[in-house]
Structure formats: structure tokens, C-alpha cells
């Protein structure tokens, strides 16, 4: 088959080189948006008097027919990419007039347009999935405002906190991710269509009209930049990496909490697997998979950054490498968010085990230090007194709540009976009412704010 660009050539490419250069195996994912872009371009050409009415009508009919039969086509590596495959199919349908569709357009601005359109659809779908996850987090948090659990730093028990407070920390991480994706849409909703190969065109096109038809908000003001920009892809890959990092952190905690040693959470059987050898096992495999796939998404970001780092203007074939990585990342992050949503929605938190854990540690030590401060003792001195009391407990095999008043007074005489209620972990949590704190009232206020954010959509 003769190449649509083959007029200057006297020899055919080798079969191996042809297969190596072809992108149809992955860029056929752009078929629907490619037809969408072609329809807008053709309409603009007609409205600018570049296409005759009959030519526009033939091209429009042919493109719409291809849209209705999109899943039925067989694409070939001979035509290299989705653009040439679709042009070949259009030519077979309506004849040589199909060749007029490419007036004032290059594959360089065509593929960039397709990628902008495809990414807009994906980012909107990902945003919806993240909002669904945030909604599930708020539902779980609402049930556990007064469920106390150990809070950790360095994976060592630090202070008792509300489980809802812990869960809502992830709500705000995903809220920032949603903000970043929304901002990314500003760069995605830019039209490169009509920039040509690199220098624009001599035809009297209206790039603003084609942008309007495609729903773009802006038009690239520089044709070189329009065809060579992939910042919006890199930006997305970076945001997707951050989303996966947040998911991976949450998954790591779920994996730890689901262990017999912690036993803080029970995952649904629908989001667990067993062992082929050990019949007692219930593994948090999907949390582990999401954690593992995070590295894959990071790799796509670093790979494409490396591809772009030394490219001169304008378009270079290297940029064909943008699609496989972004398609893989898009599939991976979207599925990960959706799977994680189901996993956390169906999970059961073991409230008694969580509370019991706070009764068997020294996470109330800060309460004792704060108590001493209220008695007029400087915090640094109070810190040392409590440290000595904790050491005594460790050596004696007991906890702060177990010490008698007479023992407490050996550390400082100001300690009285009123210290004991403050050592209760539930009271310790309830009293932390500062804005953004883990106190039950503060958490309810935070939960209301989270719900308000979701209602803005």
C-alpha cells in the first residue's frame, strides 16, 4: 500500500522498521477523539470558505459513519498511526475528497489535539472517582468520630486520636490531588489545532472557531509551542504519581492494621485473597497491589521526563513515547482509586481492639505533662518528670494509669487525684479541641467542612 506521505520516497521501509515506527498498537485509543477533532477542523474549513459545501457534507457524513462503526475497524501498521488509518478508511468511504480534510493541518497538531481531548475526558473521570473515594472516607469517618485509637509517629505510639481524624487526614490529601487535577485542566483545555507542522498555515483558518467547537478554553499563541508542548502530560503524570503516593500510604497502614499483630481492621472477602498452601490466610493483596503499582506510575513520569529533556523544537518522533506511559498511568491510577474505594467502603474497623490498644501504652504521657503545666510547672521540667515516671513504669511492668497517688507524688508533690480522669484516652482525645485537632468537637467541625467541600461540586 502506498504511504499517504510517500511522494518523495523511492524505496519502501523495511518491515521491521515499519513495525518499529508504527504507533497504531496503542494510539488507536485516540480514535474517538481523532474523529471529534477532524469534524471540528472540517467544519471550520467549510465556514472559512476553504471547503465547498458539498465537500464538507461528504466529509462530515463519512466521519460520522466512522464514529458509528468505531469498534468494527481493523487497523494496520502499514498506516502507522490512528490518524493515517482513519484517513485511509475515510478515503475508502467517500473517495479522494477525504484528502481535503488534511488541508491546513499536520499530524503534529492533530496528535497533540487528540491527546488534549483524550486527557480532558480521563481527568474528569479520575476527578469523579476521587470524589467518590472522598465521600466514602467521610461516611466511614462519620461512624467513628468517638472511636479512639493510637496515633503514631515513627510508627511508635504517640498520642491517642480519633479514628475519624486519622481517616480525614487522607480526605484532605485527596482534596489537594483534586485541586491539582482541576488546575491541570487549564493546560489541557488548550487547542493546538491549526498550528500545522510547526509554522502555522497560509490558509485563512480560524483556530478560535475550531477550539470553540472542541470545547477548548484557550488557543496556543505560538505554533512551535503548540506542537511540541507536553508539559500538560508531564504535569498530569506528576499529579497521578502524587495520587498513587497517597493511596500507597493509606494501603501501607491498612496492610499493617489488617495483620494479626495489630488487628485494627477487617477487610471484606471481596477485597482479600487466600493462600494456595496455607488455608488460614487472608491476605490484603489489593492494598499490596496498589502499593506496588505506585512504582510503575513513578516510572512512567521519570521515563517521559527523560524523553523530553533534550528535544529541540518543534515536534520530534521521540514524542510518540508520550502515549504508552500516559495511557498506562491513566488506567493504573483510575483502577487503583476505584478498587481502593470499594476496599475502604466495605472494611470493618475493630473499635474495641483500637480502644484497648490505647489502654496499654504510654500515649497519655503528654496529658500528664500538660497537667503539670496547668499546675505551674514549666513544660521542659514537666517533660522530664513524666519521662522519669514512664521509665519507672517500664521497669515495673505497668502503665501511667496504674500508678498510685503516693507513687506519683514521689515524682512531684503537685500531682493529685484529679490527674486520673485526664489519663483516660477517651478524655485525652476529647480535650484536644484546637482547630484541626483530634478532639471530638473539632473532628465534627472538620467533617462538616469536608462534606461542604464535596457539595461544591
Each residue of 47-81: b (16+ CB within 10 Å) or e? eeebbeeebbebbbebbeebeeeeeeeebebbbbb
The yes-or-no answer on residue 154 being catalytic is: yes
As a whole number of angstroms, the distance between CA 140 and CA 128 comes to 19
Q: Which residue's entry shows cell 496556543?
A: 220
Clarify whether 223 is annotated catalytic: no
Catalytic residue among 12, 259, 268, 275: 275
**What is the maximal distance between C-alpha atoms in the chain?**
101
> Is 266:348 a contact under the CB 8 Å cutoff?
yes
Chain centroid to Cα 146, Å, comes to 30
Measured in residues, the chain has a length of 457
Question: Shortest CA distance to 426 belongs to which of 338, 383, 367, 371?
Answer: 367
Q: Alpha-carbon distance 192 to 63, whole Å?
A: 21
Instruction: Decide: residue 352, CB within 10 A, 0-12 exposed, 13-18 middle, 19+ buried.
Output: exposed
Reply yes or no: is the peptide bond before residue 314 cis, omega within 30 of 0: yes
Backbone torsion region of residue 129, taken as left when φ is above 0, otherwise alpha when ψ lies between -120 and 50, otherwise beta:
alpha
Separation CA 46–CA 56 (nearest Å):
6
Instruction: Tell the burial category of 279 from Cβ atoms under 10 Å away from its Cβ (0-12, 13-18, 19+).
Output: exposed
Residue with the three cell numbers 504519581: 241
d(CA 51, CA 310): 39
Pick from 20, 24, 4, 29: which is nearest to 330 by CA?
29
Sequence-distant (6+) residues with CB within 8 A of 92 are: none
C-alpha–C-alpha distance, residues 181 and 183, integer Å:
5
Catalytic residues: 154, 275
Amino acid at each position: 500500500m502506498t504511504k499517504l506521505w510517500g511522494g518523495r520516497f523511492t524505496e519502501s521501509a523495511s518491515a521491521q522498521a515499519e513495525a518499529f515506527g508504527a504507533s497504531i498498537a496503542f494510539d488507536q485509543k485516540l480514535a474517538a477523539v481523532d474523529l471529534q477533532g477532524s469534524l471540528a477542523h472540517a467544519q471550520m474549513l467549510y465556514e472559512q470558505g476553504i471547503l465547498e459545501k458539498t465537500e464538507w457534507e461528504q466529509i462530515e457524513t463519512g466521519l460520522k459513519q466512522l464514529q458509528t462503526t468505531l469498534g468494527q475497524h481493523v487497523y494496520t501498521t502499514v498506516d502507522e498511526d490512528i490518524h493515517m488509518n482513519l484517513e485511509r478508511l475515510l478515503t475508502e468511504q467517500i473517495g479522494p475528497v477525504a484528502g481535503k480534510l488534511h488541508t491546513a493541518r499536520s499530524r503534529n497538531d492533530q496528535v497533540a489535539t487528540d491527546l488534549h481531548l483524550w486527557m480532558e475526558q480521563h481527568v474528569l473521570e479520575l476527578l469523579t472517582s476521587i470524589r467518590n473515594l472522598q465521600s466514602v472516607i467521610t461516611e466511614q469517618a462519620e461512624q467513628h468520630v468517638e472511636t479512639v485509637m493510637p496515633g503514631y509517629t515513627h510508627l511508635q505510639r504517640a498520642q491517642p486520636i480519633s479514628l475519624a481524624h486519622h481517616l480525614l487526614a487522607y480526605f484532605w490529601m485527596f482534596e489537594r490531588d483534586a485541586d491539582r487535577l482541576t488546575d491541570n485542566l487549564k493546560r489541557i483545555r488548550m487547542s493546538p489545532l491549526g498550528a500545522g507542522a510547526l509554522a502555522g498555515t497560509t490558509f485563512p483558518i480560524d483556530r478560535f472557531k475550531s477550539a470553540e467547537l472542541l470545547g477548548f478554553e484557550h488557543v496556543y499563541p505560538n505554533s512551535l509551542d503548540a506542537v511540541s508542548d507536553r508539559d500538560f502530560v508531564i504535569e498530569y503524570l506528576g499529579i497521578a504519581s502524587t495520587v498513587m503516593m497517597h493511596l500507597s500510604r493509606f494501603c501501607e497502614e491498612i496492610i499493617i492494621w489488617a495483620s494479626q499483630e495489630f488487628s485494627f481492621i477487617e477487610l471484606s472477602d471481596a477485597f482479600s485473597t487466600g493462600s494456595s498452601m496455607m488455608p488460614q490466610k487472608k491476605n490484603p493483596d489489593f492494598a499490596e497491589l496498589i502499593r506496588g503499582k505506585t512504582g510503575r506510575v513513578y516510572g512512567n513520569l521519570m521515563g517521559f521526563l527523560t524523553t523530553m529533556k533534550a528535544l529541540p523544537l518543534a515536534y520530534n518522533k521521540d514524542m510518540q513515547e508520550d502515549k504508552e506511559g500516559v495511557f498506562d498511568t491513566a488506567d493504573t491510577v483510575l483502577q487503583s482509586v476505584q478498587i481502593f474505594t470499594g476496599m475502604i467502603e466495605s472494611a470493618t474497623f475493630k473499635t474495641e481492639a483500637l480502644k484497648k490498644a490505647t489502654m496499654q501504652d504510654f500515649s497519655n504521657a503528654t496529658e500528664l505533662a500538660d497537667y503539670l503545666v496547668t499546675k505551674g510547672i514549666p513544660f521542659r521540667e514537666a517533660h522530664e518528670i513524666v519521662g522519669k515516671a514512664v521509665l519507672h513504669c517500664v521497669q515495673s511492668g505497668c502503665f501511667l494509669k496504674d500508678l498510685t497517688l503516693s507513687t506519683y507524688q514521689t515524682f512531684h508533690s503537685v500531682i493529685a487525684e484529679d490527674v486520673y480522669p485526664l489519663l483516660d484516652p477517651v478524655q485525652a482525645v476529647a480535650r484536644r479541641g484546637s482547630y484541626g485537632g483530634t478532639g471530638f468537637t473539632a473532628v465534627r467541625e472538620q467533617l462538616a467542612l469536608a462534606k461542604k467541600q464535596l457539595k461544591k461540586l
